[in-house]
Amino acid sequence: MLSALLLLVVQTASAAEQPIGFSHTAHIEKASMQCTDCHEGATSRDSAGLPSIRKCMLCHQFIATDLPEVVRLSKYWERKHEVPWERIYGFAKTAAVQFRHAPHARAEIACSQCHGDVASMTVAVEAVTHTMGSCIQCHRDNSATDDCLACHF
Amino acid sequence: MAKEATQQAEGGTERTPQWAMAIDLDRCTGCEACVLACASENNVPTAGEDQAAMGRTKHWIRIDRYYEGEFPDIKVKYRPVMCQQCDEAPCEPVCPVNATYQNAEGLNVQIYNRCIGTRYCANNCPYTVRFFNWFAPEWAEPLNLQLNPDVSIRPAGVMEKCTFCAHKIKRAKLDADAEGRELADGDVQPACVQSCPAEAMVFGDMTDPDSKVARQLGSGRSGQLLESLGTKPRVFYLEKAD
């Protein structure tokens, strides 16, 4: 119980303040969408990417238009603004890390391995802490390279 | 040659390429296109007029000039010099934190966030191709917008040098992998090689007998810079034998 409470505190602490309370679980569990429907680059590019508001509005011009968060979304749309999403994952510039999503997707590393069970989250939180130790452990477990140059250049 | 232990740790049965460069000095015109291409590819900042006048410029590649004969019967020879990616690199054993080492592909690697800035490596490099960041690099706007996201910005306090465009090697490997094919000769083109209008520079896997670079090395014209030191560079210079 205590650890669960602690986890909740940690999760709340790491949850970024998002402009819209986007529910991952509603899209993945209820609407049966895939992560890559919105984070298009995850399997093919360096960066998974955040979707443009145009992508949101493909559906939300017609679907669930009366929900409060969707109303907030359409206000951005009317003002012709992108939603200023806060990134919750990424490496500090000083870490000099070059991460590529595509080769990890090709190696069939599930999104949840590095991003946690996003499918059950409402607003995404930083559920997994990325450290060099965790990266190297996974690389070794999967007989991937552990050359420093693989990531640091 | 490459360290066997590292090679095993890489895993898999794929052949490990051994990168090398051949530079044809009879083709080089000293135009410095490579110098410019390198700086923009690798986010190498300019020093500014005042600092440059004091010899504080930073270039991962430079053109050395050699004059032969007396005016007017004078001949100028140019030699592009970058990190020679030595097999027996003098910079490596003097690093107290292993920030520079030779990887399985024969690249002399510099890991910026491991570097503590002792500068022993630069002092031990006979080719003077290592540069220390005394200050954090700055780019006057809007030049900051042209930085290459594939290459880390080196902070103050670390050493840097030519990487043989390690990020482009990485990119070429990933592209080949995505297309489900083997890395082909010519897939990897460091910025200097790519930009050379005289096509004086060739880069590739020297253990692949069909590669351009292997053919150049076997031409009988190739030599290494300061060969007598026994550093065994991976950069080979081609010249007409006198």
Which chain A residues are within 8 Å of B14, Cβ to Cβ? none
Query: What pLDDT was estimated at residue B90?
Result: 97
The residue behind tokens 């890395």 is B183
Residue B242: the pLDDT is 63
Per the CB < 8 A criterion, the answer to whether A52 and A38 are in contact is no
Residues making up chain B, counted from first to last: 242
Question: What's the whole-number average pLDDT of chain B?
Answer: 91
Query: What integer is the mean pLDDT of B208-226?
Result: 94
Q: Which segments within B91-178 are labelled E, that is strand? A: 100-102, 108-110, 131-132, 159-160
For chain B, helix, strand, coil in percent to 5 are 25, 20, 55
Q: Do B107 and A100 lie within an 8 Å CB cutoff? A: no
Taking the CA atoms of chain A, what radius of gyration do you get in angstroms?
A: 17
% residues pLDDT > 90 (chain B): 85
Q: What is the 8-class DSSP label of residue B220?
A: S
Residue of B98, B159, B160, B174 to mutate for A, most A C-beta atoms under 10 A: B174
User: Domain boundaries in chain B?
Assistant: 19-238
- Torsion sign, CA atoms B137, B140, B145, B148: negative
Question: Residue A120 carries which DSSP code?
Answer: G
A22, A69 Cβ separation under 8 angstroms: yes
For B19-238, the fitting CATH number among 1.10.3720.10, 3.40.50.1000, 3.30.70.20, 3.40.190.10 is 3.30.70.20
Q: What is the pLDDT of residues A64-109, one digit of tens each?
A: 999 999 999 999 999 999 999 999 998 888 889 999 999 999 999 9
* Structure tokens that stand for A78 in this block: 């009317």
Q: What are the phi and psi torsion angles at B70 (to 5°)?
A: -115, 150
Q: How far is B75 from chain A (nearest CA, A)?
A: 39
> Any CB–CB contact under 8 A between A34 and chain B?
no
Sole residue written with tokens 């002092």? B123
How far is the alpha carbon of B22 from chain A, nearest alpha carbon, in Å?
A: 23
Please tell me the distance in Å from A46's CA to the nearest CA on chain B. Answer: 10
What single string gives the DSSP state of each residue in B96-141? TT--EEE-TTS-EEE-TTT-----HHHHH-TT---EE-SS-----T
Distance CA A105, CA A35 (A): 12
Length of chain A as a residue count: 153
